[in-house]
Amino acid sequence: MQPMAFPFSVSIDGPYFLPRILPVKNRVARSLAAAFCAALIGLVFLAAAADGVADEPAGEGLAGSGIALVPKDAAFVSATLRLREQYDRFVKSNAFAALKKLPAVARGFEAFEEQQTQPGSPLSIAATFMELPENQQAVELLKDMFSNDTFLYGDPSCVTLVELIVKIQRAQQTANILSLARGQSALDGIDLELLNEQPVEEEMEDDGAASPVANKHIHQVRLRATDADEQLSPQQITTQLLLKTLAENSDSIVVPDLVWGFKTTQIDAAKSQLKRVEVLGKLLIQAMPELADSLERKKVAGGEVVTFTSAAFDSNLFSSWVELARAEAEGFDAEQVDKVVDAIGSLKIVVALGIIGDRVVLSVGDSIDHLEKLGSEKQSLLATKPFAPLREQSTNPLTAISYVSEPLRKALAASADDIEQLANLADTLAEAADLPEGAAAQARINLKQVASGYRKRLPVLGAWMAFSFLSEQGYEGYAWDWSKNLPSDGSKPLTLLEHAGGSPLGAVVVRTKNDPSQFEDFVAWTDMGWSFFQKYLLPKSDGEFQESFDAIDEHLAPLGVQFVDILRTKILPSLADNQLGFVLDAESKSRRPHRDLPSSAEPLPLIGPAIVLGLADAKLFREGLSDLFSLIAVDLLEKVREVWPGAIPEGYDVPEPTKSKIAEGTAWSFAIPDSGLDEQVQPSIAVGNTAVVFSFLPQQSERLLKKAPFKTGSPFLQVEKPLAGAAAFDFVRLFDALEPWVVYVARYGCVQQRDGSVDPDTELNADAENEQATDVLKQTAVVFKVLKSLRTVAASMATKPDATVTHWKSVIRDLPAAK
């Protein structure tokens, strides 16, 4: 069988900055990035095809690539190469041929062709439109532009805009906090004190790739409440905070400069189509006198572009907005209002389309000045330190390159500024909440301490660069991260991989640095919050609540102290190995997963997740586990009965787990008889000498506790070497585990449709299928075969003196040729 290659390059970190251009919370950003990557992976599964790796085109290489044209101060870059080559391999593959033969796909192609010949249909109109030679030329040009080498980059103005959005978001959060503290009541007016503290930036030791000075004109507005005379509503507070933030950063209200570049071999066609665009633009402008001077042809960077210049906002709409804004801001600083309005009103958008060298270039920004930096060898991003690893791999057939500058990463990252902002607002918040004297000072001390501890653990972000290329078996790639103060520890081999079951569906193992002070800081912060609540907030509550709280403090708080002590003295020291793993396998099977469901004629794989932790002291962990169970199952139950009599039925005790001695240690399982699930499904813990396993299948826990050489992703993963992390997924076995469930659900649906309900005592076999379901399942089997062209994906993460390097590889094989 022949190896295949993706037509898309997927990197977990690669394109993540695109959906994160807006400063959202990290959890949301990661969810969006995960969804984005999942969508791409879905496309990749369907697009696997290759006949081997092509040689580098003659005369080409990094020096002639689009990435060499990008200036060194770029905020981000995303480049795609060899797209046409990869597409051709896909459509010529046996996998694609198998998909085309499916009846459903064939019917889709037939319907498409029918629409093309039906008079008046959109496809028919498009087909007629394409009969014109100039339109055919335009389509061929577009195909050529996307075939070989495309790039998108943003200049430092992108960082400026992102930082401004972060400041606006922070002002909005501050307004919300003030409103919550006061409710809907009016709040004493506040002024914002501008603190000119600038965070210290660490520059990379190179020739200045995206140096931190890009944001030198951004004011680090930290909001500190000071006295003012008037009373303001929550809405007015929000308006004032946003207005002041925008006014202090009016120079940062910009249109970011973005540039797309497309390599073409059809320069004459590009010139002809550019002329068409220019003529069409002039015809449209003739009907709008106000745009008479907006279209121009200009020379830039040794090429020519056609530019269209316009105000960022429609003049009529902007005038209406200005009137509304002034009405909303009545009573506020008129000078600040004018400053913001002038900054927004002066924005211009310049769209440029043209030809520079062998590239069709599309630019959007406030001018075309940034295009002058294109193609300068001395100022090329490719010559900077972050791209040194790429230069070393330049002979490989590259398919994608991604880059995020240090300033952009810092602009998008979490920071301690939000916590420090709360500290600056302590006096106002205490007054708004009518807290006793001394509360503000104590809150300020506590929050400053929390911010300090949080800040010292944050990564010192650096530049990030990734690239991928075609390999003999599929795709391969690297991601380099020059951040410092990362929690990963790559000083030793990941021995926990021996507890992944040998050949699981998938496994991820990482090792972090051991930092006991982190737990102590968390405990100290919790104690500070508890003490603050007792001293300043509790006295403001009613007598009934205080009485309930006193009972909780007397009976339950001591259990919290014991819980922390068990973690501190036993659990955490026993886990000082600091290895954490996630394993997915499907070795266990069931014919009837739930008592309310019918049984299956074929065994259904139970896809079971498990968490594996490395142990430094197994005896100490067992002691801590025993203490925790006693604390929760005995002491906590007793104290809850004392505080809330009748809350727990008399005579009820937490069931003891089933303890069993296994070959590699001891296992405990917790039966859940009322759940209706297969008896195999029981939360379990298995403890051995070097690892502990948590899973929902006791057989899985026992299996993972036994050491076995890790085979998934081998021989690519060199597990004997020091690594900070490793991951591998066997997609063939994953799809093999999913396919029986698809058949089971289809058969269940057939019986449900035929009888109106499904008897749990029946068995679902092939006789349950109707003709339509049988046909669909046959086609589904073909789809699963195609999906299994993606064999495995593996990745390892290693730490170097100045960077963290992730190396990944995929194995893809085409289907055998149809007989």
Mean pLDDT along residues 593-601: 95
Lowest mean pLDDT among 182-186, 203-207, 405-409, 544-548: 203-207
| Main-chain dihedrals φ then ψ at residue 258, nearest 5 degrees | -125, 140
- Is the model's pLDDT at 195 over the cut of 80? no
How much is the pLDDT for 223?
A: 46
In the block, tokens 């893809």 appear at 812
Contact 384, 314 (CB under 8 A): no
- Is the model's pLDDT at 430 over the cut of 90? no
Residues 6+ apart with CB under 8 A from 534: 553
What single-letter DSSP state applies at residue 182? H
How much is the pLDDT for 6?
A: 31
Chain centroid, CA 361 distance in Å: 29
How much is the pLDDT for 235?
A: 75
How much is the pLDDT for 316?
A: 60
Return the H-helix or E-strand segment holding 152. Answer: strand 149-154
Q: How far is Cα 622 from Cα 576, in angstroms, rounded to an integer?
A: 14
Mean pLDDT along residues 615-631: 96
Contact 20, 32 (CB under 8 A): yes
Cα angle value 656/659/661 (rounded, 5°):
175
The pLDDT tens digits for 130-157 are: 888 999 999 999 999 999 999 999 999 9
- Is the model's pLDDT at 191 over the cut of 60? no
pTM above 0.75, yes or no: yes
Q: In this predicted model, which residue has the larger pLDDT, 121 or 324?
A: 121
Token pair in block for residue 141:
């040009």
- Is the model's pLDDT at 231 over the cut of 70? no
Q: In this predicted model, which residue has the larger pLDDT, 282 or 30?
A: 282
Instruction: Using pLDDT thresholds of 50, 70 and 90, give the confidence band for residue 280.
Output: very high
Q: In this predicted model, which residue has the larger pLDDT, 232 or 413?
A: 413
- Is the model's pLDDT at 463 over the cut of 60? yes
What single-letter DSSP state applies at residue 535? I
How much is the pLDDT for 173?
A: 85
How much is the pLDDT for 802?
A: 92
How much is the pLDDT for 7?
A: 32
User: What single-letter amino acid sits at 97?
Assistant: A
**DSSP states of 432-491:** HTTPPTTHHHHHHHHHHHHHHHHHHHS-B---EEEEEEE-SSEEEEEEEE--BS-SB--S
Instruction: Using pLDDT thresholds of 50, 70 and 90, give the confidence band for residue 317.
Output: low
Sign of CA dihedral 38, 42, 43, 45: positive
Contact 15, 36 (CB under 8 A): yes
Task: Decide the pairing of beta strands 599-600 and 763-764.
Answer: parallel
- Is the model's pLDDT at 225 over the cut of 50? no
Lowest mean pLDDT among 252-261, 419-428, 541-550, 706-715: 419-428
Q: In this predicted model, which residue has the larger pLDDT, 537 or 620?
A: 620
How much is the pLDDT for 792?
A: 95
Burial profile 562-598: b = 16 or more Cβ within 10 angstroms, e = fewer: bbbebbeebbbbbbebbbbbbbbbbbbbbebbeeebb
The pLDDT tens digits for 168-183 are: 998 888 888 877 766 5
What share of the chain has pLDDT > 70, as a percent? 84
| Main-chain dihedrals φ then ψ at residue 741, nearest 5 degrees | -70, -35
| Main-chain dihedrals φ then ψ at residue 223, nearest 5 degrees | -85, 115
Lowest mean pLDDT among 345-349, 582-586, 734-738: 345-349
- Is the model's pLDDT at 117 over the cut of 90? no
Domain positions in the chain are 14-155+257-312+347-403, 157-255+414-457, 484-513+576-615+655-801, 515-573+622-637
Instruction: Using pLDDT thresholds of 50, 70 and 90, give the confidence band for residue 62.
Output: confident
The pLDDT tens digits for 687-715 are: 999 999 999 999 999 999 999 999 987 77
Mean pLDDT along residues 310-326: 67
How much is the pLDDT for 230?
A: 56
Lowest mean pLDDT among 258-272, 306-320, 547-561: 306-320
Cα angle value 458/463/464 (rounded, 5°):
100
User: What single-letter amino acid sits at 810?
Assistant: S
Task: Decide the pairing of beta strands 295-300 and 303-311.
Answer: antiparallel
Q: In this predicted model, which residue has the larger pLDDT, 482 or 340?
A: 482
Residue 611: CB atoms within 10 Å: 13
The pLDDT tens digits for 731-757 are: 999 999 999 999 999 999 999 999 999
Mean pLDDT along residues 113-119: 85
How much is the pLDDT for 182?
A: 63
Cα angle value 813/815/817 (rounded, 5°):
130
Residues 6+ apart with CB under 8 A from 692: 612, 613, 615, 618, 621, 685, 686
How much is the pLDDT for 17?
A: 29
User: What single-letter amino acid sits at 331?
Assistant: G
For the purposes of burial, counting CB atoms within 10 Å of the CB of 65, is it exposed (0-12), middle (13-18) or buried (19 or more)? buried
How much is the pLDDT for 501?
A: 94
Q: How far is Cα 749 from Cα 756, in angstroms, rounded to an integer?
A: 10
Q: How far is Cα 549 from Cα 544, in angstroms, rounded to an integer?
A: 9
Q: In this predicted model, which residue has the larger pLDDT, 6 or 292?
A: 292
Mean pLDDT along residues 611-625: 97
Instruction: Using pLDDT thresholds of 50, 70 and 90, give the confidence band for residue 209.
Output: very low
For the purposes of burial, counting CB atoms within 10 Å of the CB of 412, is it exposed (0-12), middle (13-18) or buried (19 or more)? buried
Q: How far is Cα 30 from Cα 602, in angstroms, rounded to an integer?
A: 38
Q: How far is Cα 703 from Cα 608, in angstroms, rounded to an integer?
A: 12
